[in-house]
């Protein structure tokens, strides 16, 4: 099974930290976020990894080439960030026609990636209990099916999922840049073909300076 890491964003919420360093290269402990996520993928048996890059992408490629010189890692370069959906669409020639793992580069976690399905009809999302920065949540899980409540939801998308590339292939998109959550998934969630699971394992979205500091505190406490 292939895996794709989303690593092309600007990291605006982390400015000025990300002015000269891309968000995936920020460190938790002694290792960068993207290094930790690649290592977890390798340890869980993912032998082919695709990474999309844009903002300061050369830094990311140099970092990964140095640390993982023997691993099968390919890069999808974007002249400008294309969003989570546009990034996947551009990388489809590298991803092939089978379901693949999709993971955000800016999360710090210990979620068991072997506990996810290898093949899905549309998509399978890993949800976590709502953190303080997203108390209204993203979705609910009803008999393993993703449902969205207009008022509030009990789970937040962890940034980890299994995606069937057909949900990109069988649709046309007006713009090159778009978001998976808003543009791709709603159609399939409405059909009740997007499944999910809950993880109670360690997970942090390292999207702000405060949460980066928290991740390092948690790392020091646990490792």
Q: pLDDT by residue (tens digit) across 2-60?
A: 999 999 999 888 989 899 999 999 999 999 999 999 999 999 999 899 999 999 999 99
Domain interval for residue 48: 2-222
Question: What is the rounded CA–CA span in Å between residue 180 and residue 65?
Answer: 28
Domains: count for the chain? 1
Phi, psi of 79 (to 5 degrees): -60, -35
CATH number of the CATH domain containing 205: 3.90.550.10
Mean pLDDT of the chain: 94
Question: What is the rounded CA–CA span in Å between residue 128 and residue 203?
Answer: 8
Cβ pair 146, 194 in contact under 8 A: yes
pTM, two decimals, is 0.95
Q: Is the peptide bond before 130 cis (omega within 30 degrees of 0)?
A: no
pLDDT over threshold 80, residue 95: yes
**What local confidence, expressed as pLDDT, does residue 220 receive?**
63
Question: What is the rounded CA–CA span in Å between residue 138 and residue 79?
Answer: 30
Q: What is the pLDDT of residues 134-152, one digit of tens each?
A: 999 999 999 999 999 988 8
């Amino acid at each position: 099974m292939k895996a794709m890491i989303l690593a092309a964003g600007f990291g605006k919420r982390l400015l000025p930290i990300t002015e000269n360093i891309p968000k995936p290269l920020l460190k938790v402990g002694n290792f960068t976020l993207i290094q930790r996520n690649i290592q977890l993928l390798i340890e869980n048996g993912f032998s082919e990894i695709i990474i999309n890059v844009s903002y300061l992408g050369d830094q990311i490629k140099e970092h990964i080439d140095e640390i993982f010189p023997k691993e099968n890692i390919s890069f999808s370069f974007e002249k400008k960030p294309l969003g989570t959906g546009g990034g996947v669409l551009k990388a489809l020639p590298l991803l092939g026609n089978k379901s693949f793992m999709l993971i955000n580069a800016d999360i710090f976690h210990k979620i068991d990636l072997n506990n996810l399905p290898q093949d899905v009809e549309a998509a399978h999302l890993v949800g976590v209990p709502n953190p303080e920065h997203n108390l209204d949540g993203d979705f609910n899980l009803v008999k393993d099916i993703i449902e969205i409540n207009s008022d509030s939801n009990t789970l937040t998308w962890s940034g980890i999922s299994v995606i069937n590339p057909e949900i990109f292939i069988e649709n046309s998109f007006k713009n090159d840049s778009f978001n998976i959550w808003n543009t791709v998934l709603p159609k399939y969630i409405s059909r009740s073909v997007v499944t999910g699971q809950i993880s109670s394992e360690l997970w942090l979205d390292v999207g702000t300076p405060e949460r980066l500091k928290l991740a390092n505190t948690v790392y020091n406490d646990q490792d």
